[in-house]
Structure 1
Amino acid sequence: MAKVNYKINYEISDELKNKITAKPIKTNYLYSGDDFIFETLHSLRRELNAGTISLNDGDILVVSEKFVSTSQGNFVDENKSKPKLSAYFCYYWSKYIWGYILGPLLKTRSDRVLNLRKMPKPETLKHKQVVIDNVGFIYALKPASEGGIDLTNVPGTYASLLPSKPKETMDKLYNAIKKEFDVDLTVMLIDTDATYKFYKWYITALPYAIDGIIAKIGVFGYILGKIGNLLNMGGLYGATPLAITGNNVYKKYSMELLLYIANLADTSQVPYTKSIHDLMKKYNTYTITEKVLSDMEHSPVVIVKIEG
């Protein structure tokens, strides 16, 4: 099992980090409405039979939110979106205020600033309206990855919303795994969109997260995270745990450790296009087909083990 190195300064010891490993589990591509629980069980069974993994009580199974959202058919066709005045405001705000003022001021990566300055108007207007309609205006003010609504690795002109009923959905997965394999795992749902630290608080720009992370504050979560980084009072902590359930061993873990586990799982997955701008460069389009997606490797499930 590979270990993943980070530049994030987690407040956990190197000794503990060295005891944590992650094993990505490849799955078939899910089409909208396919059963992610069935596919998870199938993929785990294949790896167990091949002897490439073991499952023990207290291991952590980490699941990507896109895997679950696809199963739930939680997509919105942005091509049907009809932009209103608020969407125009958010477009110009992102392109000019973030692209020329806030982005450079808050030390946003130069390539991301450039992408903001070049963002296409028709597609962005529709996307901002979808964000406003589904999660709210304060999320649409964020320059990208607004409210967990994702454009990458989604077919056609669809956008993927966050999973609905995340805790209940993870409970179902936990129970299915326990019944199938007679093992008591902890199950965690994550989103690549970040959690940040600002002073002593953990914050995210997402609409929800696990207890201990402040959510529902939209763009302000992103701004506070950036300020925390500039003032050396926190900063980026990586992927966000959206829900957690199962074996209660996780309740003994610090928030730092849970965030380390979430980001370890996220960054250990098979590399694939994580930015709509990367997608445009690779395929010269903002539209991607299910055929392209099905040809990619997918590892939306990761087994994390902590030795000792």
Structure 2
Amino acid sequence: MTVKYLVMKKPMRYWVPGYDFSAEIIRVYGNVLRNGDFLIISEKALAIALGYIYDESIIEESRITSLATRVVRELWSIIGTRCKLGEKTITMLRSIPLELLARHKQLSLSIGGLKHFLKPVSEAGIDTSNLPYSYVSLPLQMAEEIADQIRNEISSKLGKDVSVLIQDTDKTFLLDKLSLGLATRPSKVRGIIDLGVISYILGMCTHLFRAYPTPVAFSGPQISLRLLLNIARAAESSRGWGAGRNVVEMARRFNSGFEDVTWRMLMRENHFPAVIVRLRE
């Protein structure tokens, strides 16, 4: 039996800190949601709205961190092409000033440890794109509770039984013969384990795994991990990247410096922090 995925998306306002995202979701999708739908929400958008952001400009990177960052960047520049990293990503890594990269690496080390520090990009679930100035978004600490809360609020106000998936663009790799996902960042979903850089190397440098966005937390009836990953992939392919996939694209889009993007600039862009996926057999 082949499952088809119908993805529905509508633009929303940029979710600034303190924004009532539940009310926005209900306002935009209230007449669209049906029982059994999957509501897929960007973890980064939720993190910003809930205040899970950090100003990296206040970080004073150590000499050891700066040196280690330089070594990691050079190593990935060498082996990146063999690990499907892509020329654009390698160029992006080289174009970011070492000082900014070292600050980011120091934060990732404190949050995720060495297994995330050693990744080339997207360390520890920390996200730099679609945020102003030197802010980054941090991984949600209570993602499961947040997903449950959104699901319950939709049920209470709309009378609809939907499943809620919080997801991140960082990769999870699935081995075809196993129901085990190797994530490159933390996840609360059963069947997914976070191995950091080890997951990244196994997934990117071999041909044994399929890549998916990472389900961070899920609230709804139990479904297979493979189906959940396919739903996450369908949502990601439709959502787009807002102001850019990374700080380099974002700065280029606004013709600004890496730390000169403002809230107002971001609010002018179309954003799709939440989309609906409906299954069709």
TM-score (norm 1): 0.84
Query: 1:252-291, aligned counterparts within 5 Å?
Result: 253-272=223-242, 273-282=244-253, 283-287=255-259, 288-291=261-264
Query: 1:174-253, aligned counterparts within 5 Å?
Result: 174-198=151-175, 200=178, 201-215=180-194, 217-229=195-207, 233-236=208-211, 238-246=212-220, 248=221, 251=222, 253=223
Q: In structure 2, how many angstroms separate the alpha carbons of the residues matched to 1:227 and 1:104?
A: 9
| Superposition deviation, residue 87 in structure 1 | 2.2
What one-letter code is carried by the residue in structure 1 that aligns with 2:14? Y
> Is residue 212–residue 255 contact of structure 1 (8 Å, CA) maintained in 2?
yes
What one-letter code is carried by the residue in structure 1 that aligns with 2:56? E
Moved more, 174-183 or 155-164: 155-164
| Superposition deviation, residue 180 in structure 1 | 0.6
What one-letter code is carried by the residue in structure 2 that aligns with 1:176? E
Question: In the TM superposition, what whole-angstrom CA distance separates every residue of 1:41-75 from its partner, at most 9, and x where no partner exists?
Answer: 22223xx2xxxx3x222111111111210121001
Equivalent residue in structure 1 for 2:43, among 45, 65, 75 = 65
> Is residue 95–residue 119 contact of structure 1 (8 Å, CA) maintained in 2?
no
Aligned counterpart, 2:55: 77
> Is residue 98–residue 116 contact of structure 1 (8 Å, CA) maintained in 2?
no
Secondary structure at 1:152 match in 2: coil
| Superposition deviation, residue 165 in structure 1 | 0.1
Unaligned runs of 5+ in 1: 1-12
Query: 1:91-240, aligned counterparts within 5 Å?
Result: 91-100=69-78, 102-198=79-175, 200=178, 201-215=180-194, 217-229=195-207, 233-236=208-211, 238-240=212-214
Secondary structure at 2:14 match in 1: coil
> Is residue 106–residue 227 contact of structure 1 (8 Å, CA) maintained in 2?
yes
Q: In structure 1, how many angstroms separate the alpha carbons of the residues matched to 2:210 and 2:12?
A: 33
> Is residue 228–residue 235 contact of structure 1 (8 Å, CA) maintained in 2?
no
What one-letter code is carried by the residue in structure 1 that aligns with 2:191? G
| Superposition deviation, residue 30 in structure 1 | 1.5
Moved more, 167-176 or 114-123: 114-123
> Is residue 25–residue 300 contact of structure 1 (8 Å, CA) maintained in 2?
no
Secondary structure at 2:214 match in 1: strand
Q: In structure 2, how many angstroms separate the alpha carbons of the residues matched to 1:143 and 1:306?
A: 35
What one-letter code is carried by the residue in structure 1 that aligns with 2:215? P
Q: In structure 2, how many angstroms separate the alpha carbons of the residues matched to 1:33 and 1:87?
A: 33
> Is residue 187–residue 214 contact of structure 2 (8 Å, CA) maintained in 1?
no
Q: In structure 2, how many angstroms separate the alpha carbons of the residues matched to 1:295 and 1:281?
A: 16
Q: In structure 2, how many angstroms separate the alpha carbons of the residues matched to 1:222 and 1:257?
A: 22
> Is residue 141–residue 219 contact of structure 1 (8 Å, CA) maintained in 2?
yes
| Superposition deviation, residue 209 in structure 1 | 4.0
TM-score (norm 2): 0.92
Change in 2 beyond 3 A, CA 1:120/1:197: same
Moved more, 261-270 or 289-298: 261-270
Q: In structure 2, how many angstroms separate the alpha carbons of the residues matched to 1:270 and 1:93?
A: 32
